[in-house]
């Protein structure tokens, strides 16, 4: 009797595991279909992309859209390398600055007591509640009066302001879960306050810093609404804004647009793959207590 119950329990657990796996597979398939469709369309001719009913199984795959984008098919091309360089400079610089400020701010909120601490923290979080589109006109006026329209510095400042509240909030949560006793013990052993932070506390919280960094980078890399208002020339446009180069008065080059979208996805995937260990650790940090 006991053997039958154990067998039934194992079968039930196995069925639940299979159902869970199948459900996750279906959910991930649905989520990945738009991305897969973009990748396929980047290799397909316009006739197949615009076909009605849709052509689900590609009949002809080629690199014409990529050749055209880089000026290899007699269509002049799009300055993809310049847009990529602009996006990389703006995203990396704004992310590094936001992380430095976020680490300082998050550590201060987690470790120190000062007047108005809660009010300031809530105020920072409330700035994230304002839609970016609502800020486009005020930012445009300010940037125009300061001469920062169509510059890297202007867009970097905007993205830093966008990312700092989030990085402070996220990093603050990680430092709060690190016992202050660790730093105090390091100071007793002869470390300065700065050394205790870098050698003891930061290594423990680096997974959270990596998580904040990847989210800040992706926010800057994919942002379109503000970049489209604050950039004008080839020397400042980012890749999301560069997608508009594939539109004209009467037509849209869907193949070229999908090809540029694929190029936009690649750096994000590579970065996520490189820091995935820290990202997963950061997202699960504090979820299990000893």
With a cut of 70, say whether residue 269 has pLDDT above it.
Answer: yes
If pLDDT is split at 50, 70 and 90, which confidence band does 172 have? confident
When pLDDT is averaged across residues 231-258 and rounded to a whole number, the result is: 84
Residue pair 262/39 in contact by the 8 Å Cβ criterion: yes
| pLDDT, tens only, 208-217 | 888 888 889 9
If pLDDT is split at 50, 70 and 90, which confidence band does 32 have? confident
With a cut of 70, say whether residue 105 has pLDDT above it.
Answer: yes
Domain extent listing, the chain: 2-69, 80-284
User: Domain 80-284: which CATH class?
Assistant: mainly alpha
When pLDDT is averaged across residues 98-122 and rounded to a whole number, the result is: 87
The pLDDT score that the predictor gives to residue 201 is: 82
With a cut of 70, say whether residue 22 has pLDDT above it.
Answer: yes
Cα separation of 137 and 94, whole Å? Answer: 21
R_g (Cα) of the chain, nearest Å: 25
Tell me which of 151 and 3 has the higher pLDDT: 151
Cα separation of 229 and 213, whole Å? Answer: 25
Which of 35, 174, 19, 7 is closest to 99 using CA atoms? 174
When pLDDT is averaged across residues 196-202 and rounded to a whole number, the result is: 82
pLDDT above 70 as % of the chain? 90
The pLDDT score that the predictor gives to residue 71 is: 65
What number of H helices and E strands is found in the chain?
14, 0
Burial class (CB in 10 A: 0-12, 13-18, 19+), 161: middle
**Within 13 A of 56's CA, how many CA atoms are on the CB side?**
2
The average confidence (pLDDT) of the chain is 82
With a cut of 80, say whether residue 70 has pLDDT above it.
Answer: no
The pLDDT score that the predictor gives to residue 289 is: 40
When pLDDT is averaged across residues 179-197 and rounded to a whole number, the result is: 80
The pLDDT score that the predictor gives to residue 57 is: 76
| pLDDT, tens only, 73-82 | 444 567 888 8
Cα separation of 21 and 240, whole Å? Answer: 35
**Within 13 A of 65's CA, how many CA atoms are on the CB side?**
27
The pLDDT score that the predictor gives to residue 73 is: 44
How many CB atoms neighbour CB 133 within 10 A?
10
With a cut of 50, say whether residue 286 has pLDDT above it.
Answer: no
Helix (H) or strand (E) holding 200: none
When pLDDT is averaged across residues 35-42 and rounded to a whole number, the result is: 86
The pLDDT score that the predictor gives to residue 56 is: 77
Cα separation of 280 and 263, whole Å? Answer: 25
Residue pair 135/223 in contact by the 8 Å Cβ criterion: no
If pLDDT is split at 50, 70 and 90, which confidence band does 2 have? low
**Within 13 A of 263's CA, how many CA atoms are on the CB side?**
25
The pLDDT score that the predictor gives to residue 268 is: 82
With a cut of 90, say whether residue 95 has pLDDT above it.
Answer: yes
Quick one: tokens of 35? 């991305």
Q: Which residue reads 């994000």 in tokens? A: 268
The pLDDT score that the predictor gives to residue 94 is: 95
């Amino acid at each position: 009797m006991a053997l039958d119950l154990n067998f039934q329990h194992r079968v039930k657990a196995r069925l639940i595991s299979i159902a869970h796996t199948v459900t996750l597979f279906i959910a991930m398939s649905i989520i990945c279909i738009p991305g897969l469709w973009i990748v396929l369309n980047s290799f397909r001719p316009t006739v197949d992309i615009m076909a009605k009913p849709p052509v689900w199984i590609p009949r002809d795959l080629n690199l014409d859209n990529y050749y055209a984008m880089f000026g290899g098919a007699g269509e002049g091309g799009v300055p993809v390398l310049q847009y990529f360089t602009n996006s990389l400079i703006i995203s990396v610089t704004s992310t590094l600055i936001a992380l430095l400020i976020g680490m300082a701010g998050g550590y201060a909120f987690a470790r120190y007591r000062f007047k108005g601490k809660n009010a300031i923290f809530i105020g920072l979080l409330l700035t994230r509640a304002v839609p970016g589109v609502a800020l486009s006109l005020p930012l445009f006026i300010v940037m125009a009066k300061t001469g920062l329209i169509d510059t890297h510095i202007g867009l970097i400042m905007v993205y830093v302001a966008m990312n700092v509240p989030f990085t402070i909030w996220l990093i603050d949560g990680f430092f709060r879960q690190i016992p202050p006793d660790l730093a105090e013990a390091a100071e007793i052993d002869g470390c300065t306050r700065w050394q205790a932070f870098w050698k003891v506390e930061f290594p423990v919280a680096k997974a959270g810093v990596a998580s904040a960094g990847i989210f800040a980078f992706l926010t800057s890399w994919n942002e379109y609404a503000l970049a489209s208002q604050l950039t004008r020339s080839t020397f400042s446009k980012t890749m999301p804004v560069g997608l508009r180069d594939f539109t004209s008065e009467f037509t849209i080059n869907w193949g070229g647009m999908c090809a540029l979208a694929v190029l936009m996805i690649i750096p994000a995937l590579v970065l996520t793959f490189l820091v995935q260990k820290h990202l997963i650790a950061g997202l699960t940090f504090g979820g299990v207590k000893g």
